[in-house]
Amino acid sequence: MIANNFMEQLTDLKDYRSKRISSWDRTGGNRDWVTLSSGGKAVLADIKGSGCIRHMYATLLSFDRFYYRNLILRMYWDEEEKPSVEVPLGDFFGIGHCKVRYFTSLLLTVNSGDPSIGTHGLNCYFPMPFSKRCLIEVVNESQFQIDALWYHIDYEKYDKPEQNLARFHSQWRRENPCKAILPEGVEKLTPENQTGDIGKNLTGKENYVILEAEGRGNYVGCILNVDNIAGGWWGEGDDMIFIDGEKWPPSFHGTGTEEIFGGGACPNAEYSGPYTGFHLISRSDWSGKNSMYRFFVADPIRFQRSIKATIEHGHANNLANDYSSVAYWYQTEPHKEFSPILLAEKRVPIVPPEGEELVEKERRIYEVIQKKGGAFFWAKYSKRDREKIISLRGQINEAFDEEEYQKASRFWDDIIKIGRIKVE
């Protein structure tokens, strides 16, 4: 069985067999990655029999600005036809808005790689048991190839299925923007009526929905991403979790968004811990993109028939911001079929109007670079030029992250000149 205290596994002797599936070079060379063409699919694992996934690792290399949202991770347990996991790859590992922040939690960790070439170490520690089969795949819905995907999947193999273990599930959702509900008589938001005691929510019907599942199980965590279009402090929204079909008021009712994720009032500095974190805060005035996590490890939220986990977008749902999320839970099968995941163009993070020209410029440049060898094109140049190109790419990523789009565009012009790239 899966130990109640994970430390017990260090001393508990089992007749399990530990195994790993990875992208190692079967020829004995050092090409330890797979490449995904546009529209292509890679089967990361297809394991027959019973066992449990214990750790997943990945890192990627691509010039595609939004590859973390363009790649879809799917997992199937025990010959099911519909996936139990369907999430953009980056979001699954805690990367919201395709905007990387390094953080360490008990269940997800993003470690540093080389930011100049865009590699970051993605790690997942959710246990994922199965009885008959485990199928894990990644689909590339980008118009460009993924030049390299390195991965490990560490698992245990059992002689016979473990009993009474729920199956791991994860789903991504997005509402962009959420519909703002203004109190009667209020035509415009101000700092006073945005966060003040104006407007009431006594139903939860207009809340953003993080998870809606049917069956018996445990809700064990979520990632929440908010792009604060409205401005000001956006986090007055309470979480409301309805269990087993209950009506208002729900069993779980919170007091504000920051409380869910372990922060003090209106946090404006990033932090991360074992169970809670605000690991992305773009600006100290709360504008722009934000990401946070809460894992119910010591306190899973249990449901016998159904669960609906929701959160207000602003006080009484008065803000029209971009919300997206990843829910993680365990439940009996069969599970409620997921709504179709948004198309790739609907998953892309918001880019301010002043950045749209740069995104289009990058698209045209990468069309040429892909023909010259993709993200590995720099290997064909002299050491001096190669170092310049890699350094410039790092500066481009940093400038894009800070929304300094003109600066990023000038750095691209330098790469075009050094690389002798002809862009139409």
b/e per residue 376-404 (b: at least 16 CB within 10 A): ebbeeeeeeebebbeebbbbbbebbeebb
Summarize the confidence of residues 226-237 as an average pLDDT: 95
- Strand 301-303 to strand 217-228: parallel, antiparallel, or no bridges (unpaired)? antiparallel
Q: Does domain 1-350 have CATH number 3.20.20.80?
A: no
Per-residue model confidence as pLDDT tens digits over 373-419: 898 988 889 999 999 999 999 999 999 999 999 999 999 999 999 99
Confidence (pTM): 0.96
In this predicted structure, what is the pLDDT of residue 182? 92
Per-residue model confidence as pLDDT tens digits over 309-350: 999 999 999 999 999 999 999 999 999 999 999 999 999 999
Per-residue model confidence as pLDDT tens digits over 273-289: 999 999 999 999 999 99
Taking the CA of residue 261 as centre, how many other CA atoms within 13 Å lie in the half-sphere pointing to its CB? 26
Give ranges for CATH 2.60.120.1390 in the chain: 1-350
pLDDT above 90 for 23: yes
pLDDT above 90 for 183: no
